[in-house]
Structures are given as structure tokens and as C-alpha cells.
């Protein structure tokens, strides 16, 4: 009888292991499909009220990226380089960038490779290339790094820390940032060896210490996608000068309400 149960147990264990390694294989080969969502649309119908010029930004590997450029006065005001999150097109950020119309700020929001009709496929290295190409584009427009504010949203925070470290930008804003993609994935898939599986690691916690620019971190305590403790940890280990906007009511996509807008305006004013 004992031998019978032992055989059944071993068979069950073998089945579980086969299923486990099958899921591991799926996660490894399709991980970027689980990380990047170019066609997702969360904000359909928002009307663009701020004036923008649609521009093309060419990367080093000859991919043309769509960008929206709003220029008031690049000599008087700082310029935001907005690096968006892992889902949707530029239109999905309309509800945010509309508010920049009433601020003394210029902005360039650039769409990643594979997003908004751009060619190519998103990867960590590719997105770094895209962001650096956008910085170069602004420099060619006469905007110096010391007048650029790097704004990273969600996944974009992983790109923001990469290009901002050891650099001389006017400021850096991180909205709903994660410590690393490893930590974020572990939070979602705790039973898998994420550190060894993950290709795109976006290690913010290792890079934020190398940021010398003025820093603003914004995060909601009820964020269901990126736990609040990650943003708080990044703030704690970051260099001065640093500022925080932490709220008890915001989820992952933070409300662009009066309090947040005042925080942004004050931060921009502090850079002049």
C-alpha cells in the first residue's frame, strides 16, 4: 500500500514539475509580450487641447519615433522630456500633457519603438536608445541638458534613471516608479526565479544613487501595480535635493488634480 502511494506521489510530483517548467518556458520566451502593451488604450476619447508639433526622431539604429513637441520659449523655460509607461499610444497621455499648457514649461513626449505606429520592438536597450535619441533631438533644437527635465512615468522611470544618472539635467520626475523590474515581476510571479529569467531588468535602485539632478518622486499608496514601498524606497536612497508627492488615494495612474499640479509647478519653479 505504501509503495502504491509513493508511486502516485512521484507521478503527481513529476506532473507538477512538467507544468512548472512549461510555464517557465512560456514566461521566458514571451516575457516581453507580458511587459510591453503597445496597443492597450486606457484613455480613449481625451481631446488634445495643448498645441503640439508632430515630429520624427531618428534613433542610432535608424528607427523613426513619433514625438509631440510643445515649445513656448526654450530660452526662458525648461523643457520636459516625457518618457511614458508600458501601455498605449501618445494619446493615452493627453489628459496629462494638456495641463502643461498652463505652466511655464516646454515639452517633448516621445513614443517608444513598437508604439504609436513606430517600427521596431521594445526592449530595455532599445528604449534607452530611444530616450537618448530624444535628448539628442532636443540638443539639436538648441535645448541644453541643463534645461531638460526628465519625466518618467511607470516603465518610463526605468529609462529616466538610466539616462539621468551621471548627467547634468535640470531635474528628474519619477511617477509611480519601481525599484527594479525584477522586484516588480517577483511581486506578480513570486514562485518563479525571475532574476534568472528576466531580460529587461530596469534596475532603478542601482542607478538612482548616481542622479545628482533635483528629483521629484510621486506615488500613490494604493498602487495595485507597483507597490508604494518601491517609490518610498527610491526616495529614501536618493540624493538631495529631493522632493516627494505621496498620496493615500492614488492608484498606479495618478490623478492630475490640483494638488499634483501645484507640486509640479513648484518643482519647475525651483529649477529656474
pLDDT tens string 64-77: 999 999 999 888 99
CA 152 to chain centre: 5
Query: Looking at residues 106-123, what average pLDDT do you find?
Result: 96
Residue 18 lies in a domain: no
CA 186 to chain centre: 18
Query: Looking at residues 179-195, what average pLDDT do you find?
Result: 90
Phi, psi of 120 (to 5 degrees): 90, 175
Contact 154, 175 (CB under 8 A): yes
Residue 12's pLDDT is what? 82
Residue 240 lies in a domain: yes
Residue 44 has pLDDT above 80, yes or no: no
Query: Looking at residues 149-170, what average pLDDT do you find?
Result: 97
Q: What is the mean pLDDT of the chain?
A: 93
Residue 173 has pLDDT above 80, yes or no: yes
Banded pLDDT at 189 (limits 50, 70, 90): confident
Residue 43's pLDDT is what? 65
Query: Looking at residues 72-101, what average pLDDT do you find?
Result: 93
Residue 8 lies in a domain: no
Residue 222 has pLDDT above 90, yes or no: yes
Residue 21's pLDDT is what? 83
Among candidates 195, 132, 201, which has minimal Cα distance to 160?
A: 132
Banded pLDDT at 260 (limits 50, 70, 90): very high
Residue 4 lies in a domain: no
Residue 1 lies in a domain: no
- Look up the domain containing 248 and give its range: 36-271
CA atoms within 13 A of residue 251's CA, in its CB half-sphere: 3
Alpha-helical (H) ranges within 63-192 are 94-97, 124-140, 155-164, 181-188
Output the domain CATH number for residue 198: 3.40.50.1820
Q: How many independent structural domains does the chain possess?
A: 1
Query: Looking at residues 231-248, what average pLDDT do you find?
Result: 98
Q: Which of 54-58, 190-194, 247-251, 252-256 has the lowest mean pLDDT?
A: 190-194
Residue 238 has pLDDT above 80, yes or no: yes
Residue 33's pLDDT is what? 87
Residue 94 has pLDDT above 70, yes or no: yes
Residue 154 lies in a domain: yes
Helix (H) or strand (E) holding 197: helix 194-197
Residue 143 has pLDDT above 80, yes or no: yes
Residue 272's pLDDT is what? 81
Residue 27 lies in a domain: no
Task: Specify the pTM.
Answer: 0.93
Residue 26 lies in a domain: no
Residue whose cell numbers read 509611480: 176
Banded pLDDT at 190 (limits 50, 70, 90): confident
Amino acid at each position: 500500500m505504501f509503495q502504491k502511494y509513493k508511486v502516485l506521489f512521484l507521478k503527481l510530483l513529476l506532473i507538477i514539475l512538467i507544468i512548472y517548467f512549461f510555464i517557465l518556458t512560456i514566461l521566458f520566451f514571451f516575457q516581453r509580450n507580458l511587459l510591453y502593451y503597445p496597443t492597450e488604450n486606457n484613455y480613449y476619447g481625451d481631446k488634445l487641447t495643448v498645441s503640439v508639433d508632430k515630429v520624427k526622431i531618428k534613433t542610432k539604429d535608424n528607427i523613426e519615433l513619433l514625438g509631440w513637441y510643445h515649445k513656448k520659449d526654450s530660452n526662458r523655460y525648461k523643457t520636459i522630456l516625457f518618457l511614458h509607461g508600458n501601455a498605449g499610444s501618445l494619446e493615452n497621455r493627453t489628459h496629462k500633457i494638456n495641463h502643461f499648457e498652463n505652466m511655464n514649461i516646454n515639452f517633448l513626449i516621445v513614443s517608444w519603438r513598437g508604439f504609436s505606429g513606430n517600427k521596431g520592438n521594445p526592449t530595455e536597450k532599445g528604449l534607452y536608445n530611444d530616450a537618448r535619441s530624444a535628448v539628442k533631438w532636443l540638443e539639436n533644437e538648441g535645448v541644453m541638458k541643463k534645461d531638460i527635465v526628465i519625466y518618467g512615468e511607470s516603465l518610463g522611470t526605468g529609462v529616466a534613471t538610466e539616462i539621468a544618472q551621471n548627467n547634468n539635467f535640470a531635474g528628474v520626475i519619477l511617477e509611480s516608479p519601481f525599484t527594479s523590474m525584477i522586484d516588480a515581476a517577483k511581486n506578480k510571479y513570486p514562485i518563479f526565479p525571475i532574476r534568472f529569467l528576466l531580460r529587461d531588468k530596469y534596475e532603478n535602485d542601482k542607478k538612482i544613487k548616481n542622479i545628482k539632478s533635483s528629483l521629484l518622486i510621486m506615488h500613490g499608496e494604493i498602487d495595485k501595480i507597483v507597490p508604494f514601498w518601491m517609490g518610498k524606497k527610491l526616495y529614501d536612497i536618493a540624493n538631495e535635493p529631493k522632493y516627494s508627492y505621496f498620496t493615500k488615494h492614488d492608484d498606479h495612474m495618478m490623478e492630475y488634480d490640483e494638488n499634483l499640479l501645484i507640486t509640479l509647478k513648484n518643482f519647475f519653479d525651483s529649477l529656474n
